[in-house]
Structure 1
Amino acid sequence: MNDESVKQPDDIKPPVTHIGAIGWIRANLFNSAFNSVLTLLILFCLWKTVPPFVKWAFIDSVWATGSEGCRNADGACWSVIPSNIRFIMFGFYPADRQWRPLTAMILLLVLLMRGGVPGLVTVESTQWGGLPLTLLLSVFGLAAAYPVGIVLALGRQSRMPAIRSLCVIYIEMIRGVPLISLLFMSSIIFPLFLPEGVTINKILRAQVAIIMFTAAYVAEVVRGACRPCPGASLKRPIPSVSTIVRPCG
């Protein structure tokens, strides 16, 4: 027998079931009885949910029709989005003055939203809404929450038990409550405790709730960034923060 025709053990390729896509599937999805059952269960759930969703969202959907067509459609009615795009973008803001919140989205200027200056009719904040208001609350909320979060992070690392306890209670309590709950309390519950005749702007209340919520998470981010840094110590928080020039970890 010719020696060249005999393959050495190193030249023998592994079975197809151990390499490539089949090998990966076998090694990661069907490597045990539990994983095999779990994989089959997930595939069954996908088979039951994905095709009906695709059929509802794309195949049987309608894209340009009226209200009657939407009611009779078997799938999604996407025509409701272009029909209500102005309401989605601007809420109840007057239609003939919607150029102002559109400009505010670009410039982030509250002045154009409210008006009250020569050439601009005043629009009360009760009529503000849509995407411009969301962007304004988010931008100003993050900007105001950052310094508050730093103060909370330093307070949580303080050597004074009273300050440390107050900061811990605040951070953990706020982080344990969903943002939607804080917004609900600020807009519905909080006014019930105000004296008769005293009112606080609802946008201001929502802004404070967003700042309180975001500051608690910023405090934990700052505190977590301080700990891995060289020289970071619970007893000396301020030098630790002052030496952070990039995320540590």
Structure 2
Amino acid sequence: MADTASNTIARAAGPDMRSLLRRLAPFFGTPLNAALTLVLLWLMARLGWLLLDWAVLKAAIFPAEPETCAATTGACWSFVIAKSGQILFGIYPPTERWRAGLVCVLIIMTLVASARPSAWRPRLGLVWVGMMVVVLWLMGGGFGLAGVPTSAWGGLPVTLILTVFAIGLGFPAAILLALGRRSGLPVVRTLSVLFIETIRGLPLLSLLFVASILLPLFLPESLLPDKFVRALLALTIFAAAYLAEVLRGGLQTIPGGQSEAAKALGLGYWTTQRLIILPQAIRIVIPALTNTIIVMIKNTSLVLVVGLFDLISSGKAALSDPAWPAPSTETFLFIGLIYFALAFSFARFADFLERSGAEKRG
């Protein structure tokens, strides 16, 4: 009966209305669907209004002082504004935070510039190496800048540096591990399997603890890297093992006839892998690579357990100020939005690469 009425209305309406009714049919086609749709719409509207009322209408924004938050029942964005420097840059010296901010801008600009396919040339690797050198100089100091030890680094720069360096160093290692696991040489294949399976069998926290606590027991003080470098090493090893398995899955989908054809043309093993096999394998596993990289972005928050001041640690430190009412919800929402922006941006870039690859194949 309901379907007949809907069809009658659709026939009587114009083309645009008929198209709209077809889209709405799954939501209002039957009395039960209509009731569920209306209930869910009411709940969404109710929750949306409560969120708007708390986050905007009753929120304390300016002036960014403790008294502003004390006089409201809404969100205390005044705290986030007043403590934004500490949340974003942690315990980095306040007078030198312009360097940490410049590092964030430099990394993000390099990522954005690298997103253009026209920029994918061999010189792009040199740009990234140069960017990394400049980042380390700005953060650490020297050559005209005041020295800042890695123990004083914190906030968003730490998150970006750990992510970019861990993935940038781990991806080439992952390629070698993936190729090594498929190698015909027993020793190379065995060592690659042992490395990948050992790292994948350990949680990242255990690797961070090994790098932070156990490594100093086996190395003399003169050879021991600082805590930041040890955490970066643990993240790089972890990323390499997981990315290697993702790449191996892509390599397995490439028909063996392509390698045989390349060999018949006189191409060597490494030339074949670089020009023929790896580009296809990477294009195939873009979704899985994206997922692994996004997980790595969020995994950088685990370095707080070894005493590094990432975004979350910086937020917790800011909340310890007794002059403020410690609005943890607003603080962690702000931090969560930063992580979401990073992960979402990379996911959209991966979607763009997938669409571009599909268009070229089409």
Query: Could you tell me how far apart the structure 2 residues matched to 1:163 and 1:217 are?
Result: 16
Contact 1:146/1:218, CA 8 A, preserved across alignment: yes
Query: Could you tell me how far apart the structure 1 residues matched to 2:226 and 2:145 are?
Result: 21
- Greater RCO (CA < 8 Å, at least 6 residues apart): 2
Query: Could you tell me how far apart the structure 2 residues matched to 1:58 and 1:234 are?
Result: 60
Query: Could you tell me how far apart the structure 1 residues matched to 2:103 and 2:36 are?
Result: 51
Contact 2:27/2:37, CA 8 A, preserved across alignment: yes
Where does structure 1 lack aligned partners over 5 or more consecutive residues? 1-11
Letter of the structure 1 residue corresponding to residue 58 of structure 2: D
Aligned ranges for residues 73-88 of structure 1 at < 5 Å?
A: 73-88=72-87
Query: Could you tell me how far apart the structure 1 residues matched to 2:146 and 2:67 are?
Result: 38
Alignment of 1:215 with 2:240, yes or no, is yes
Alignment of 1:49 with 2:47, yes or no, is yes
Contact 1:186/1:205, CA 8 A, preserved across alignment: no
Alignment of 1:128 with 2:128, yes or no, is no
Query: Could you tell me how far apart the structure 2 residues matched to 1:84 and 1:218 are?
Result: 37
Picking from 149, 153, 168, the partner of 2:174 is 149
Query: Could you tell me how far apart the structure 1 residues matched to 2:18 and 2:226 are?
Result: 65
Query: Which one has a larger percent helix, Structure 1 or Structure 2?
Result: 2
Query: Could you tell me how far apart the structure 1 residues matched to 2:255 and 2:98 are?
Result: 52
Letter of the structure 1 residue corresponding to residue 227 of structure 2: K
Question: How does the TM-score come out when normalised to structure 1?
Answer: 0.71
C-alpha offsets along residues 118-160 of structure 1, whole Å, 9 cap, x if unaligned? x333221111112222222222212101111112222333454
Alignment of 1:195 with 2:194, yes or no, is no
C-alpha offsets along residues 55-83 of structure 1, whole Å, 9 cap, x if unaligned? 21122212213212213322212222321
Structure possessing the higher radius of gyration over alpha carbons: 1
Aligned ranges for residues 47-126 of structure 1 at < 5 Å?
A: 47-65=45-63, 66-105=65-104, 106=106, 107-108=131-132, 109=134, 110-117=136-143, 119-126=144-151
Contact 1:91/1:129, CA 8 A, preserved across alignment: yes
Where does structure 2 lack aligned partners over 5 or more consecutive residues? 1-8, 107-130, 264-268, 285-357
C-alpha offsets along residues 147-194 of structure 1, whole Å, 9 cap, x if unaligned? 1111222233345473464255246436xx5xxxx2x54555654434
Query: Could you tell me how far apart the structure 1 residues matched to 2:194 and 2:32 are?
Result: 47
Aligned ranges for residues 141-180 of structure 1 at < 5 Å?
A: 141-159=166-184, 160=186, 162-163=190-191, 165-166=193-194, 169-170=197-198, 172-173=200-201, 177=203
SS in 1 for 2:76: coil
Query: Could you tell me how far apart the structure 2 residues matched to 1:234 and 1:60 are?
Result: 65
- Aligned pair count reads 229
- Counterpart of 1:4 in structure 2 is none
Query: Could you tell me how far apart the structure 2 residues matched to 1:56 and 1:47 are?
Result: 14
- Counterpart of 1:24 in structure 2 is 23
Letter of the structure 2 residue corresponding to residue 112 of structure 1: L
Q: What percent of counterpart residues are identical? A: 29
Contact 1:232/1:240, CA 8 A, preserved across alignment: no
Alignment RMSD (CA, Å): 3.8
Change (3 A) 1:112 1:232: farther
Alignment of 1:14 with 2:11, yes or no, is yes
Query: Could you tell me how far apart the structure 1 residues matched to 2:150 and 2:238 are?
Result: 22
Following superposition, the deviation at residue 35 of structure 1 comes to 6.0
Change (3 A) 1:21 1:141: same
